[in-house]
Amino acid sequence: MTPGEFRWRVAYEKAGRLRYLSHLEVVHALERSIRRAGLPFAVTRGFSPHMKVAFGPALPVGTAGKREYLDVWLTRFAPSADALDALQRVTPDDLGPHEAYYVSDAAPSLTAALVIAKYRASVEGRGIESEEVHAALSRLIGGGELAVKHKGKQKVFDLARCVPEDPRVTGRPDGVRIELTVRMGPQGSLRPEALIRAALADIGTEASVVRTTRLDTLVESEEGVWSRPV
């Protein structure tokens, strides 16, 4: 870290119509908000200086996020509550920052640190039962692997590693709601929709995933304990 810089971490959401923004569009929108808020952001050195900011794992287009993260380096210390208030006033509601604090610059990057993601998916379709969907998910996970084709390429996921805890399925009047935990990493991350679609196909239903939200992204300690990146 350059002397005199402070690493400020912000938790924000991606909701409503703005869930259809790409990751790059989210980056640009929040960088504009940081500028409009008048925060004393640092810039990188080199031929093409730019704001010194880093984001957590990208969200797919169409997926909402309740607790996404960014780090921005400030050139002077500002009370976190005041800086957050300034940022909230100039940021669209559907990208609203809701928590912020300073972190050590020795801490790992967000991309490296955040390895656990918790999702909620809403599935709509008549005649599907939560017990049936849960059983299908359990069979798939117990089978060990899932092959997923994306953009012309096939990737095989080790489900015992990628899905570290049992999914939860609850019934709704128009379908079911599924809460699913996924492990992320440099080798790729299993999209929850892929696993859910495979389970729905297994039971022969025409139900479909209509909305997916990433509820949280977490750090995993060497002892296997999950926590937020404070």
Residue 213: CB atoms within 10 Å: 20
- pLDDT value at residue 48: 85
- pLDDT value at residue 186: 76
Calpha distance 150→124 (Å, rounded): 23
Phi, psi of 131 (to 5 degrees): -65, -40
- pLDDT value at residue 26: 98
Average pLDDT per 10 consecutive residues for the chain, totaling 230 residues: 85 97 97 98 90 96 97 96 98 96 94 96 91 95 86 86 95 94 86 94 90 97 93
**Cβ(100)–Cβ(8) under 8 Å?**
yes
Residue 221: CB atoms within 10 Å: 8
Calpha distance 187→199 (Å, rounded): 23
